């Protein structure tokens, strides 16, 4: 059980509150058999700390409150190798999404190189429909990347809450995402993991949602366009991506993915957010077989669209072929 005095001390050390000016008066009013929790509850009710911070203060988790110049407000998501927080930068007050490599287990040299590639790519791709990089560095031995914070949800959450999109809204979302991807492709960057959770939907302003492509953690870069090569960040023959939105050629080897793979992922995403069934029904690689054979409900619902136009990578070409990529979708 943490004491109120110890909690106040941690608040002061982390610079979240002045123990004397803020927590002290609150402590005087605490009447509880557990003063530490009583103080934490009062701070939470008054909006002086977030739920994430309150739990960390009580020692109920091993979570940190501060990383370098950033005060962590809440955890947005946690993966096997990294975490993303909503954070506030002390020096500017700016709210950001802060992606941090996890300390446990310690990141491998390969994972660190991938993260460095992600930082490089995110700073390079500047577009209204791509999440903007704000800052990057290392604090307490942990590499981090700060990007703009989108006050809204990702596409998966948006559909879960609001249901399938109307055709006009689905088209609008696709076109916005395609614009961002087209710009990335022009810079020699392939996303390689287009899926609903990597498309962020900003809250509507004047009835217009803003779609931003996020998370370049699996991005590929054309030769000569990066300080690192594919061999620096990939193990040959590696399968990386999300099965529901991954083209068959990427399953065998992620290095085979090119801009057409992003187009495929965008098309699969379109099926996700419309009443039409998703192309695949599971998250394992075996669920790709219905796509290869054409026994997929999405294709029977698409009428005039040829299965070959979706599946075979080289059949997507016409005229300038794959070089046009997502640009066709934006016209």
Quick: pLDDT tens for 192-223.
888 889 999 997 767 789 999 999 988 888 77
Task: Please write the tens of the pLDDT for every residue from 278-311.
Answer: 444 444 444 455 545 555 444 444 443 444 444 4
Per-residue pLDDT, 118: 93
Cα distance between residue 183 and residue 29, in whole Å: 57
Phi/psi of residue 121, nearest 5 degrees: -70, -40
Q: Is pLDDT above 50 for 322?
A: no
pLDDT at 61: 63
User: CA-to-CA distance for 173 and 296, rounded, in angstroms?
Assistant: 24
CB burial string 191-208: b at 16+ within 10 A, e below: bbbbbbbbbbbbeeeeee
Q: What is the pLDDT of residues 36-69, one digit of tens each?
A: 787 788 888 888 889 999 888 887 566 889 999 9
Per-residue CA distances from 280 to 87, 158, 238, 300 (Å):
36, 20, 21, 13
User: Taking 60 as the threshold, does the pLDDT of residue 77 lie above it?
Assistant: yes
Question: Which residues is 213 bridged to in the sheet?
Answer: 130, 199
Active site residue 154: no
Of the listed 135, 193, 215, 258, which one is catalytic? 193
Is it true that domain 152-330 has CATH number 3.40.1440.10? no
According to DSSP, the residues that pair with 154 across neighbouring strands are 200
Domain ranges for the chain, please list them: 4-57, 66-148, 152-330
CATH 3.30.200.20 fits 66-148, yes or no: yes
DSSP letters spanning 3-21 = -HHHHHHHHHHHTSS-III
Give the pLDDT score at 277.
Answer: 42
Nearest CA to 192 out of 201, 181, 203, 200 is that of 181
Give the pLDDT confidence score for residue 314 in this predicted structure. Answer: 45
């Amino acid at each position: 059980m943490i004491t109120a005095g110890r909690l106040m001390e941690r608040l002061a050390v982390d610079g979240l509150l002045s123990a004397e000016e803020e927590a002290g008066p609150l402590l005087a009013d605490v009447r509880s058999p557990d003063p530490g929790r009583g103080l934490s509850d009062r701070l939470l009710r008054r909006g002086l700390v977030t739920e994430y911070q309150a739990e960390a203060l009580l020692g109920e988790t091993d979570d940190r409150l501060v990383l370098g110049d950033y005060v962590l407000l809440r955890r947005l998501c946690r993966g096997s190798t990294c975490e993303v927080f909503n954070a506030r930068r002390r020096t500017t007050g700016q709210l950001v999404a802060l992606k941090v490599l996890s300390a446990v287990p310690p990141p491998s040299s390969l994972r660190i190189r991938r993260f460095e590639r992600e930082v490089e790519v995110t700073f390079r791709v500047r577009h209204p429909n791509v999440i903007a990089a704000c800052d990057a560095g290392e604090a307490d031995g942990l590499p981090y990347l700060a990007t703009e914070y989108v006050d809204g949800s990702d596409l998966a959450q948006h559909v879960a809450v609001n249901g399938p999109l109307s055709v006009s809204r689905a088209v609008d979302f696709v076109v916005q995402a395609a614009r961002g991807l087209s710009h990335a492709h022009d810079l020699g960057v392939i996303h390689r993991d287009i899926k609903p959770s990597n498309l962020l939907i900003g809250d509507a302003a004047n009835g217009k949602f803003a779609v931003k492509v996020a998370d370049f953690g699996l991005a590929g870069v054309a030769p000569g366009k990066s300080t690192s090569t594919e061999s620096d960040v990939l193990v040959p023959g590696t399968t990386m991506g999300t099965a529901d939105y991954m083209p068959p050629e990427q399953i065998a080897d992620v290095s085979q993915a090119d801009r057409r793979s992003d187009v495929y992922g965008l098309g699969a995403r379109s099926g996700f957010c419309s009443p039409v069934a998703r192309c695949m029904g599971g998250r394992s690689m075996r669920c790709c077989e219905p796509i290869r054979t054409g026994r997929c409900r999405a294709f029977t619902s698409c009428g005039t669209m040829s299965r070959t136009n979706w599946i075979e990578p080289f059949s997507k070409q016409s005229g300038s072929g794959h070089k046009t990529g997502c640009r066709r979708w934006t016209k």
